[in-house]
Every structure is written in C-alpha cells, then in structure tokens.
Amino acid sequence: MDFGDILNQWGDMQKNEKKAAKEKSKTPQISHKMANAPTPEEKAARKRAKLIAEGRTYEAQMEEDAKKTINPMELWLRRYGVTDKDKAADEYAERAKMESREYLRTMRPEARIDLHGLTRDEAWSRLTSFVNDCIRRGLKKILIIHGKGNHSHGSDPVLGPMVKTFIEQNKNLGSSGHPDRSMGGSGATWVIIK
C-alpha cells in the first residue's frame, strides 16, 4: 500500500462521513426534554423529601456529597473563568499605539471645526462645545481651522492667537502644531486630546 492508496481511502472515509451527516440532518430532531421539567429548587426539595422518607438526615447527605471529588481543572475554571489572551494583547497594543506621541502626531485628525468669519467670543464658545463633544466621543486628535488672518480688520490676526490661548488654558488639550499646506498650513492647528 503506497501513499496514494492511503489518501484515496481517507478521501472515501470523508465522503462517507459527509453522507452520514446529511442523512442524519434529514431526520427530524426530537427533543427529549420533559414538557414541564422541574427547576433546580424543585429537584433539591424532592431530594430532601426522599432522604427524609428513607430515614436519612440532610446532614448525612451533605457529608456524603463533601466526600465527592471534582476535577481540579474544572474547579479552577469555575473559580477563575476563561480569558481571551489574544484579545487582551490586541487591546493592549492598541492602547500603547494610541498613547504613542509619534503615532498621534502622524495620524489624521478625527474631527475638525472651521472658525472662519466668527468673532473672538463666538469662536471661543463654539470651540468649547466642540472640544467637549470630542472628549465625550473619545477622539484623540482634532483640527481647528482658524485662517491666517488675511481678512481681519486691523493689522493682526484675531482667531490664531485666540486658538493658541484656548489650547493653553484647556486642561484636556495637549500638544499642538500646524499641519502641512494641504490641510491648511499655518491657518489651521491640530491638537491632541489628553
């Protein structure tokens, strides 16, 4: 008998098992559960009544039950449960990645707000509500578009310094910087939420 014959026999066995499984699935399933099965409390009460009828005490039955042994592995599983180590490792890696400063600096902003055309007070209140909403949603990086001040009345831009002051005063905001030109350059500021 060579390896090819062994493979053919194995293939035939697999086909037979599939046929048997199909035939078994065609037969209707019958439930063997009683219609009004007793609850665990009712079973315990019946057991106590049976012991009393036999003349044995409940304490004697408890001693007898205490002598029974349990599989140590089953006992350990009952006590400590099962944890998915792969899932825990993935969650840890994701947390570590989110905490990495370099990753946060290079990631794209998850939300943005445009403050063009607003006064200093309007921009401050909108920025406050925007940041609070982002914190509530669990975002890590936001983009604030404030413009370069080309249309400001007077010589100095209004919103850029206001945004800088806002970031410095808000305890929930961390490091910040300006994105590249495609995302606004010096007319926008990205901020990492702590």
Query: Is pLDDT of 127 > 70?
Result: yes
pLDDT tops 80 at residue 151: no
User: What CATH number does residue 139 fall under?
Assistant: 3.30.1370.110
Task: Please say whether the beta carbons of 173 and 151 come within 8 A.
Answer: no
User: Does a structural domain hold residue 181?
Assistant: yes
Cα distances from 158 to residues 74, 168, 190, in angstroms, run 69, 16, 18
Q: What is the pLDDT of residues 81-125, one digit of tens each?
A: 888 888 889 988 888 877 777 777 778 888 989 988 888 899 899
What residues have CB less than 8 Å from 35, skipping those under 6 apart? none
Q: Give residue 133's pLDDT.
A: 93
Asked if the structure places residue 145 within a domain, the reply is yes
pTM for the predicted model, two decimal places = 0.48
| DSSP secondary structure string for all residues of 143-155 | EEE---STT-SSS
> Can you give the residue range of the structural domain that contains 180?
108-193
Average pLDDT of the chain is 81
Asked if the structure places residue 129 within a domain, the reply is yes
Q: Residue 113 falls within a domain, yes or no?
A: yes
Q: What is the pLDDT of residues 28-65, one digit of tens each?
A: 656 566 667 777 788 888 887 887 777 777 777 777 77
Domain count, the chain: 1
Query: Is 141 part of any domain?
Result: yes
Q: What is the C-alpha to C-alpha distance for residues 118 and 125, in angstroms, rounded to an integer?
A: 10
The pair of three-digit structure tokens given for residue 66, joined into one six-digit string: 């205490």
Answer yes or no: is 133 within a domain.
yes
